[in-house]
Amino acid sequence: MNTSRLFRRTQTGVCVCVALILTAPLLCAESEDSRQNADKADSRIGYEVVGQVLNVSPQQSLQYGYLNYVRGLARVARQPGAISEATALLTFYNDTATERVINNGPIRLIDRTGTSTVYFDESGLASFVNPDTFRDGKAVQVCSLRHQVLIDTSTGYFSTTFEMTVVSVESFAIDGQSYRLGDPGDVYRVIVSGKLNTTGPPSAYIAGLAMGLGSEAVAVEH
């Protein structure tokens, strides 16, 4: 074999090995930073919700309401003062279908799947009298969802855990700054507590919070 060719191959191989050795710590550091950022997002509140439930039928359940806090936003209402459904800038509307119901003594388990949409509406003016008003405005986050409801049938109190997978997002602007709520592919959880309303409508009252990547507002650079 040609000696100069062998030398060049050996030299190239050494360079590749050195490059890998030098960049490996950087790649590991970036991976560790990404993991720590994800862990941090999973452990802090992204947004909070207040809402109601309307069980249209045994097969269909709607959940709707407003976001009363969003990490990353200086304000979530169209005017100063106490926030309510009539002043909230961001609302949500879930449409879910029942997969199964399991009774275990006084505990009832309900599994549902469906879609969830967060809307941005500068005018606010949503009303629990008309659930459709919670889907006015611009859709800024669309998720596919799965949730499990655990009901204490002896008291009517329940808790629900949602797994939200972000499908699409659109930016929205508040006070001249653009934001987005997560990125497609993000997965986060929403946990709510509630109380059934036997005299309905609505079918129940709920409140809770979201945690994880996709549940926080991120500023978008122009």
State how far the Cα of 75 lies from the Cα of 78, in Å rounded to an integer: 8
Q: Average pLDDT of 215-219? A: 96
State how far the Cα of 52 lies from the Cα of 70, in Å rounded to an integer: 19
State how far the Cα of 176 lies from the Cα of 44, in Å rounded to an integer: 27
The model's pLDDT over 162-216, given as tens digits with 9 standing for 90+, comes to: 999 999 999 999 999 999 999 999 999 999 999 999 998 999 999 999 999 999 9
* Model confidence at 24: pLDDT above 70: no
pLDDT at residue 50 in the model: 98
Q: Average pLDDT of 77-95? A: 94
Average pLDDT of every residue of the chain: 87
State how far the Cα of 70 lies from the Cα of 210, in Å rounded to an integer: 9
Q: Rounded to two decimals, what is the model's pTM?
A: 0.82
Q: Average pLDDT of 45-73? A: 97
The model's pLDDT over 144-166, given as tens digits with 9 standing for 90+, comes to: 999 999 999 999 999 999 999 99
Report phi then psi at 58, rounded to 5. Answer: -60, -20
Please, are residues 212 and 189 in contact by the beta-carbon 8 Å criterion? Answer: yes
